[in-house]
Structure 1
């Protein structure tokens, strides 16, 4: 766990935050559909259940989605445990994705649906939860990690010195 410590830290903290916020929603709202405006017409906490994937795609697909969450989670744990040390941005990306996959996966296995509550009404966006946010942040981190990096000036100088040595 030492070799990819940021992965584990982000995954554990993210999972805890996801579980606490969903617990708060279930305990604080009487029925699904209940809403509390934080900024009226812009952002609300609205309690809904989602039997599908992110943004209610594949409604009723909790059966196969629970297994997908489990496979993704186990694959990421295996990657962090056995693969070589990852770069920081990769650790963060995979850690966020694991937090989200575990958070929604636990909901699907235990309840058969996912608790959603973040409701951005200004842009009429589907209601979602922190696990969904974490998965998207993780994907964004991995996209950044996949961008080509510029060779550093130090590396270029050492290559030029090596070329000079070869021609002498």
Structure 2
């Protein structure tokens, strides 16, 4: 795959990112419309969960003031800052065209779309709206579409880096250890 091939797919990944961001925001809006807000000082709605896939995933409403498992709870601006830094770093790598393979582009797009989705909630609301809960794994945190994007993007990013980056996107001088040809 050459550099040109990556350029042809850019519009597809821009559209994918926007669609995923909008899907995240719509599901969060639907959740807020469907379930009552948690009681003052609480994080979980008093409404009964709705089964999405019976015995596997149910829908509920949780206001997450932290990250996964409520870690860093109450550190709103720290989480906003860290998420912004990660989104900016991934965007910079994509904009420099260091990543041209579709799997790497998909990974970056998912991370950016999910990160922005959660940033919007934290800045606008002070918390992230979560709704998906695994019924078979009660200790697993409730999560949202943005979280799915971020985790999937991270997994795809690891796969891309371990098995694809070196063959398709690594610079030739790095690949062969040639270093600086002028500096012999």
| TM-score calculated relative to the size of structure 2 | 0.73
User: For residue 143 of structure 2, what is the aligned residue in structure 1?
Assistant: 128
1:93-137 per-position Cα deviation (integer Å, ceiling 9, x unaligned): 000000110000000111110000001121112111111110011
Q: Distance in 2 between matches of 1:144 and 1:85?
A: 13
Q: Which of the numbers 24, 29, 49 marks the counterpart of 1:23?
A: 29
Cα distance, 1:93–1:85 mapped onto 2, change above 3 Å: closer
Max Rg structure: 1
Cα distance, 1:36–1:82 mapped onto 2, change above 3 Å: same
| Maintained 8 Å contact 1:7/1:94 | no
| Maintained 8 Å contact 2:93/2:99 | no
- Per mean C-alpha deviation after superposition, the further-off stretch among 74-83 and 131-140 is 74-83
- Per mean C-alpha deviation after superposition, the further-off stretch among 58-67 and 29-38 is 29-38
Higher relative contact order (CA 8 A, sep 6+): 1
User: For residue 157 of structure 2, what is the aligned residue in structure 1?
Assistant: 142
Which runs of no fewer than 5 residues in structure 2 stay unpaired?
1-5, 39-44, 168-184
Matched, 1:10 2:16: yes
The alignment partner of 1:147 has SS state of helix
Aligned runs of 1:16-95 on 2, under 5 Å? Answer: 16-32=22-38, 33=45, 34=47, 35-39=49-53, 41-84=55-98, 86-95=100-109
Deviation at 1:39, TM superposition (A): 4.6
1:126-152 per-position Cα deviation (integer Å, ceiling 9, x unaligned): 11111111001101111111223598x
Q: CA RMSD in A?
A: 2.2
Cα distance, 1:30–1:106 mapped onto 2, change above 3 Å: same
| Maintained 8 Å contact 2:91/2:108 | no
Cα distance, 1:39–1:75 mapped onto 2, change above 3 Å: closer
| TM-score calculated relative to the size of structure 1 | 0.79
